[in-house]
């Protein structure tokens, strides 16, 4: 694992990435989230740990620079603790995943619970309004032409881990 992380440090732009699973003992959840940016607005943010909520989220470092981009695509909760696990996402869909978790509370003991939470979250389109892009579907890739950043999500629970990736045809 360390070799893989070292390889990321040598990349010019590794993008936003998520590593999720269990440690070698199988006893502990492991989540790593990384954020880099191609554009100046994307680089005008950082990850912070909100001690009140225990959520790791993006935060503005240069408001004027960030406004040249799209805050709706750049400011979001990245890692959200849930009962015995985590929800992780590279965009605003993380809120949608949390809602799916809350609504799936009765199914959390199954070996497929992580997958079920992600399937529930992405089952139907969910839109937010943004003045720059109009309606943005959180269950689709990001409308950041020409990149069309994939939406990458993970759910980590004691018995299982699941990923869900939505990409544009060009990716």
- CA atoms of 116 and 149, how far apart (whole Å): 24
pLDDT the model gives residue 119: 94
> For 88-114, what is each residue's pLDDT tens digit?
999 999 999 999 999 887 666 677 889
Distance (Å) of CA 35 to CA 58, 59, 75, 92, 127 = 9, 12, 12, 14, 24
Q: What is this structure's pTM?
A: 0.88
Distances in whole angstroms, Cα of residue 2 to Cα of each of 8, 19, 82: 10, 12, 26
Q: Do 148 and 170 meet the contact criterion of CB atoms below 8 Å apart?
A: yes
* Residue 83 pLDDT class (50, 70, 90 cuts): confident
In the DSSP assignment, the letter for residue 150 is P
More confident residue, 38 or 92: 92
Query: Residue 171 pLDDT > 80, yes or no?
Result: no
Q: Give the chain's domains with CATH numbers.
A: 2-166 (3.60.20.20)
CA angle 75, 77, 81 (to 5 degrees): 170
């Amino acid at each position: 694992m360390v070799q893989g992380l070292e390889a990321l440090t040598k990349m010019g732009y590794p993008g936003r990435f998520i590593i999720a699973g269990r440690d070698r003992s199988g006893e502990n959840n492991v989540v790593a989230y990384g954020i880099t940016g191609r554009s100046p607005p994307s680089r005008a943010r950082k990850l912070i740990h909100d001690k009140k909520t225990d959520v790791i989220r993006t935060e503005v470092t240069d408001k004027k620079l960030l406004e040249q981009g799209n805050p709706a695509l750049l400011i979001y909760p990245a890692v959200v603790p849930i009962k015995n696990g985590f929800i992780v996402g590279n965009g605003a869909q993380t809120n949608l995943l949390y809602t799916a978790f809350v609504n799936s509370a009765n199914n959390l003991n199954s070996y497929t619970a992580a997958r079920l939470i992600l399937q529930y979250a992405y089952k139907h389109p969910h839109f937010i309004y943004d003045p720059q892009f109009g309606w943005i579907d959180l269950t689709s890739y990001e409308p950041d032409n020409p990149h069309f950043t994939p939406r990458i999500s993970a759910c980590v629970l004691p018995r299982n881990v699941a990923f869900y990736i939505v990409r544009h045809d060009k990716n």
